[in-house]
Amino acid sequence: MGKNEKKTITKQAVDFPAWYQDVVREAELAEVSEVRGCGIVRPYGLKIWELIKAELSRQLEADGVENVYFPIFVPLENLEAEQDHVEGFAPELAVVTHAGGEELTNKLAIRPTSEAAMYKTYAKWIQSYKDLPLRLNQWANVVRWEKRPRAFLRWSEFLWQEGHTVFANETEARAEVEKMLSIYQSLYQFLAIPTFTGRKSESEKFAGAVMTLTAEVMARDGKAIQGATSHYLGTNFAKVFNVTYLGADGETHFGHQNSWGLSWRSVGALIMVHGDDNGLRLPPNIAPVQVVIVPIYKDDATKSEVLAYCSDLNQSLSKQYRVKTDVRDAQTPGFKFNYWEVRGVPVRLEVGAREAAAKKVTLFRRDTDTKEEVDLDHLPERLQQLMVEIHDNLYQQAKALADQNIHRIESWDEIEGQTGWFEASWSEDPLTEKQLKEKYGLVSRVLLSTQEEVAPKNSKCFISGKPAKHDWLFAKCY
């Protein structure tokens, strides 16, 4: 049977969302649960998230951020304290009304995010300017009852990290907002994913924030995914929860707060950016299995010889890589090739009697779907190169595709019939954004940081013709 005759994955070009669902299922990353909108993440999918988490943890720790844990329940009245915040989240709140067999007088929201859960306590912890900055991070699950869930990208319950920090003044706080964005940018770099970083428009910013920064990612179908956010909250929450400190000047001041987060939506981005018609393609940094060894044998004699060769190989390589030898006996080599390709394993080593005798391996790389023969002596060196090469290649492919799909337009009429992202000079008038959404389903995604201090290419807004302020990126989004 030919390679393409048993495909259970829809082609990207035929139906991208269907392709995405197929990959999530076939690669055994996750499946839908019996609870609407909630997913079951399987070991292979969770491992990817854990590897992402490990890298981000490393970076946050290196930056001096400490971890903390607050309860999953938030008194509803706390959430209602900040007006913009509650209006932003009210429609998607899950609320506990009964517990211990009784109706609760004070209803408990399941946290959709933890500003309202943490800052009352922050107020107790902070007395003096000497207690600042306070920089804490929480790895947690949150619940947002979204109208339309989507695997990893928008499940009702999801895992993330949320950083919540307090500074003495605006300058320090804003500097950190930028810094966290650059950490997210480097994390996505770690995933071989190019990001478009900058500021959100007024209507797209976080409910309760003064300013929201974002790392936007382009999926292969030209839609946008918000990969991470970093918010400057100003003193909005500080005023509500009384986060104040006594300054060196003997006066009481409000703390300037930030919050920043990244969720396992990043796993969804990983799939949508790198995946192809054969399934996942994982960058080595976060591949649960970096090298898979597939033994090939014909009879008992070659079997023991080949397995011994594989076992030595596995042992020496596993000092440096996450290695797995697929010793299942009931499956043919061809089956295993496809099995691990769908799962995106970057490098596969095929080992039969031929290789064992010649002290070689046949090496297959998933990013290019090509094979090469490598002498055992040269394998460590070749693998070391390849891990870098594969990462770079995946990044370059993603970067090229993204750049190619950003179209400069001077008038919104040019959107007609085109897909992808659009760069345009914009007045930043919320009304025009609403019109754009209604007419083309597009929203503003980001004002690139590099464009912040630059005059727009066109002095007139591409929608209203009124004076433009900056060049923004617009897109449909997940």
Partner RNA sequence: CGGUGUGUAGCGCAGUCUGGUAGCGCACUUGCCUUGGGAGCAAGGGGUCGCAGGUUCAAAUCCUGCCACACCGACCA
Q: Among 83, 332, 368, 396, which residue interacts with RNA (rule: CB under 7 A)?
A: 332
**Residue 303 binds RNA, judged by CB under 7 A:** yes
By beta-carbon proximity to RNA, the closer residue of 114 and 425 is 114
Q: Taking each helix axis from N to C terminus, what angle separates 43-62 and 265-274, rounded to the nearest 10 degrees?
A: 110
Q: What is the token pair recorded at 319?
A: 């000092």
Looking at residue 377, what DSSP letter applies? G
β pairing state of 347-351 and 291-295: parallel
Q: Among 132, 159, 207, 282, which residue interacts with RNA (rule: CB under 7 A)?
A: 207
Burial class (CB in 10 A: 0-12, 13-18, 19+), 329: exposed
**Residue 206 binds RNA, judged by CB under 7 A:** yes
DSSP track, 256-324: EEEEEEEETHHHHHHHHHH-BTTB----GGG-S-SEEEEE--SSHHHHHHHHHHHHHHHHHHTTTS-EE
Q: Which residues pair with 187 in a beta bridge?
A: none
**Residue 185 binds RNA, judged by CB under 7 A:** no
Window 136-175: residues binding RNA (CB under 7 A)? 142, 144, 146-150, 154
**Residue 79 binds RNA, judged by CB under 7 A:** no
Q: How far is the CB of 365 from RNA (least distance, A)?
A: 10
Q: How far is the CB of 2 from RNA (least distance, A)?
A: 6
Q: Among 122, 339, 426, 462, which residue interacts with RNA (rule: CB under 7 A)?
A: 339
Window 87-126: residues binding RNA (CB under 7 A)? 88-89, 91-92, 112-113
Q: Which residues pair with 103 in a beta bridge?
A: 98
Q: How far is the CB of 88 from RNA (least distance, A)?
A: 4
How far is C-alpha 351 from the geometric centre of its chain's CA atoms? Answer: 35
Rounded Cα–Cα distance for residues 394 and 358 (Å) = 32
Residue type, 239: K
Looking at residue 63, what DSSP letter applies? T
By beta-carbon proximity to RNA, the closer residue of 144 and 174 is 144
By CB under 7 A, which span of 70-78, 100-108, 178-186, 348-356 interacts with RNA?
Answer: 348-356
**Residue 354 binds RNA, judged by CB under 7 A:** yes
Please confirm whether the linkage preceding 346 is cis (ω < 30° from 0).
Answer: no
Q: How far is the CB of 113 from RNA (least distance, A)?
A: 3
Q: Which of 295, 293, 323, 291 is nearest to 307 (CA)?
A: 295
By beta-carbon proximity to RNA, the closer residue of 281 and 468 is 281
Q: How far is the CB of 245 from RNA (least distance, A)?
A: 25
By beta-carbon proximity to RNA, the closer residue of 150 and 399 is 150
Residue type, 392: D
Give how far Cα 91 sits from Cα of 95, 146, 232, Å.
11, 8, 23
Q: Are 415 and 440 in contact (CB under 8 A)?
A: yes
Q: Which of 346, 314, 307, 309 is nearest to 329 (CA)?
A: 307
β pairing state of 443-448 and 421-426: unpaired
By beta-carbon proximity to RNA, the closer residue of 207 and 219 is 207
By CB under 7 A, which span of 3-11, 184-192, 239-247, 463-471 interacts with RNA?
Answer: 3-11
**Residue 343 binds RNA, judged by CB under 7 A:** no
By CB under 7 A, which span of 46-54, 393-401, 410-418, 436-444 interacts with RNA?
Answer: 436-444
By beta-carbon proximity to RNA, the closer residue of 36 and 98 is 36
Q: Among 86, 296, 402, 473, which residue interacts with RNA (rule: CB under 7 A)?
A: 296
Q: How far is the CB of 70 from RNA (least distance, A)?
A: 14
Q: Are 415 and 442 in contact (CB under 8 A)?
A: yes
Q: How far is the CB of 51 from RNA (least distance, A)?
A: 22
Question: Taking the CB of residue 215, how many other CB atoms lie within 10 A of it?
Answer: 28
**Residue 2 binds RNA, judged by CB under 7 A:** yes
Residues near RNA (CB under 7 A): 1-3, 5-9, 17, 21, 32, 35-37, 88-89, 91-92, 112-113, 142, 144, 146-150, 154, 204-207, 212, 214, 226, 229, 261, 296-299, 303, 329-335, 337-339, 341-342, 350-355, 362, 364, 371, 437, 441, 443, 477
